[in-house]
Chains A and B, each alone.
Chain A
């Protein structure tokens, strides 16, 4: 399919483990966003990439969270030493344009549900 793909769909981690969440955006999309969505809440912004450049990481909750998009396509969100409060759905979205120039529709993946025990 041509949509945003995220893997794994579900991840169970023991507290203290490191996890890596993958996002495959729509081909050719310049912008890529990561969001965290707690149960019953709206998505909360984590970070933004324009191609391979991480232009905004103001939403990352701690230095345990790290994101990269080295070749301007696939992105990985890494969480080190996971804590119970990290349990949430992590959503990835991509959009065609760079956000600095124009507003653009964000296309979301189905998310990765992370449970930290």
Chain B
């Protein structure tokens, strides 16, 4: 069964304290993996798409990486405005369905 698991569920960091969020997946024939950011009361906002193992993408303080079993979202020197829930999602094979993880709630303290 296709599955996406994110860890940790919640993470509190001091401003400037770097860390990583994990997204593990079991999907046959991975076509790609998406990272989204969701602020309270809003819909998810696109961050990255990764297509194959070994691929990396960066945007400001965020870097996403992909292996054959998991993806990491690395946050370098985070700021309070990086506080949000970070979601990963994968399309299933043979259907139009996307599976989202439960997300990591990140809180960055000033």
Contact = CB atoms under 8 A, between A and B. Distances in A.
A41 B43 contact: no
Nearest to A35: B100
A65 interface: no
Interface residues of B, number: 26
Interface string B37-69: 000011111100101000000000000000000
A100 B44 CA distance: 22
A43 B85 CA distance: 12
B46 A106 contact: yes
Contacts of A21: none
B12 interface: no
Interface of B: 4, 6, 31-32, 34, 36, 41-46, 49, 51, 87, 89, 91, 95-103
